[in-house]
Structure formats: C-alpha cells, structure tokens
Amino acid sequence: MEIIWYHPSQSAAAWINGLQQRLPQARVRAWQPGDKGPADYALVRSPPTEMLQGRATLRGVFALGAGVDEILKQLQQNPEMLPDSVPLYRLEDTGMARQMQEYAVHSVLSWFRRFDDYRLQQQQHCWQPLPAYTRENFTIGILGAGVLGQSVAESLKPWGFPLRVWSRSPKAIDGVTSFAGRDALPAFLQETRVVINLLPSTQETINLIDHHFLQQLPHGAFFLNIARGAQVVEEDLLAALNSGQLKAAALDVFQVEPLPEAHPLWSHPRVTITPHNAAVTLIDEAIDYIARAITQDQAGEPPQGRVDRQRGY
C-alpha cells in the first residue's frame, strides 16, 4: 500500500513516522514535484495540481484541515485535478472539537458575566457593578449542527443556557431546539442572544451573515465566528457593531487573511481577534483518524467523513 503526503508548511517526518507506526504494511512518502509513482491514498493540504492529476486509481484523498472548502475550490478551478470517482474525506474530529468547545465556552461566559464591559470600565478606572444577565434570557444559537456544532452545543449544556441550532436539515439533539432550512432562519435568529457560526463554507453560506441577517437578532446580541470569514459581510458586521445592534464580536476568521493592518476591526473596542487558530489540526489525533479510515477501507468498510462535493462538505 502506497501513501503520498503533501502539506505546504508542516514537516513531513512526524506524519510519515506516525503513519508507518500505525500502518506498518504501508509505504509513506512526502510527494515531490515530478513524482508520478504509485499511490493508493493521498494526504493533502493545498496540493499542487500535478500531485493528484492523473491518479484516477486513488482509493481516497484526505484533506488535512478543519474544512474542505480549500481543496473543493481547487477542484472547481481545475476539474481535471481529481476525478469525481475518487473519494474525498474530511477530518471529522481530530482534537478540533475540544478546541472549539474551549473557545465557545470562554466567549459565551465572558459575555454572560459582562467581562467585556468590565474590561472597558477598567480602562476608564471605573468601579461600577453592572446588572447581571439572566441565564434563561441568554439563548445561544449555533449555526451548523455537524460534528463540531453538536460538540459545542454539548459543551454549553452544563451552563444552563437555552440552546438552539440551525442547519440544512433537522437535527435531533437532546435538550437543543433544532431549526432547519432558509425559511426557519428568521425564527432561529429572533430570540438568539449569542450566535456561534460553525457552518461549512459552501455557495449557500458565503455572505450569509449580512445586514439583513444581523438585523433579525435582538438588539445588543453577540457574534462568534469560528468557521469561515467568507460567510460574513464585514462592512455589515462593522455597521452592526457601531450601531449597537451587535454588542460585541469574537472573530477568528476573516475575508482576507492575515487581516490587513489597516482594517478597522483591529481597533474596534467591542471586537476580539484571534489569528485563525480556534482549532488546529493535532497531528497524532489526525494520524489516528486517517489510519483507522484506511484500515476500514482496506477491509471493505466505507470510512466516515466522505465529502459530498455537490453540497460542499
């Protein structure tokens, strides 16, 4: 069994050694330009077209990241890069869910306990207790109810907030209200005090979070984006922050990354910024997942995480 690997910024050694330990029957190599040798599986992040082109006999391609929008965009631009018959797999949870939980719980509790307001008061040397928010009126709405969305919902359950999710199709999650489809989006937004974006990046979700979307939230709502920057119209987000329609935002992803130095989001007093690291791929967990999937595939069992290229996830 032959496995080829490519990542533009990570060292190959840890991946190759880890895979060979878990799959001793495999020969794993870092792909180099000009390599046309045999391959049964490919592990990739931003692969050159040449790496995958002409490899119609691949049994599977694994995208090394939290999403697959990057490689799907490459395939749209270069349809000849990989035949539709070759399965494409995403990493469903390789330690990223726990990281997303940490980020979401931290942000929600910070807003609920008004630590953002106290931080601003501190800058003014102001000693003034503020009225507390009530838990029953602090509804958390999660956009996206896949593996990560459901995981974040589970992490918020112990805190007693009303929880709801919005997704393409209905989801049955104990203790969580489910909304599905575009027609249900206004009802989802109407009483949501905190919106957490965990949607996949598809043609349907690009620029979804715009002026019309934000105006349907209660005045003074909060917004957390740990999905993709392309889903947010940043000018509308800024306008909502400046008007008070949004009270605060925590943003990990942006339309352009790195965020340009002169962008007004950097200096907005109600915005918290992190550099697209809400959840990073943990190598050991990712190798465990991929080795397990390849073992299943070799045994004739369909691995989990196959991407529907038409849906985009």
d(CA 192, CA 142): 9
- State phi, psi for 308 to the nearest 5 degrees: -85, 105
Cross-strand bridge partners of residue 164: 141, 177
What is the torsional sign of CA 210, 211, 216, 221?
A: positive
Strands (DSSP E) contained in 200-307 are: 221-225, 246-251, 271-273
Question: Active-site residue among 113, 211, 228, 263?
Answer: 228
d(CA 180, CA 190): 14
Count of CB atoms within 10 A of residue 227's CB?
27
Question: Active-site residue among 7, 164, 193, 276?
Answer: 276
Cross-strand bridge partners of residue 214: none
Active site residue 106: no
Active site residue 276: yes
Length of the chain equals 313
Strands (DSSP E) contained in 24-87 are: 27-30, 41-44, 60-63
Catalytic residue list: 228, 276
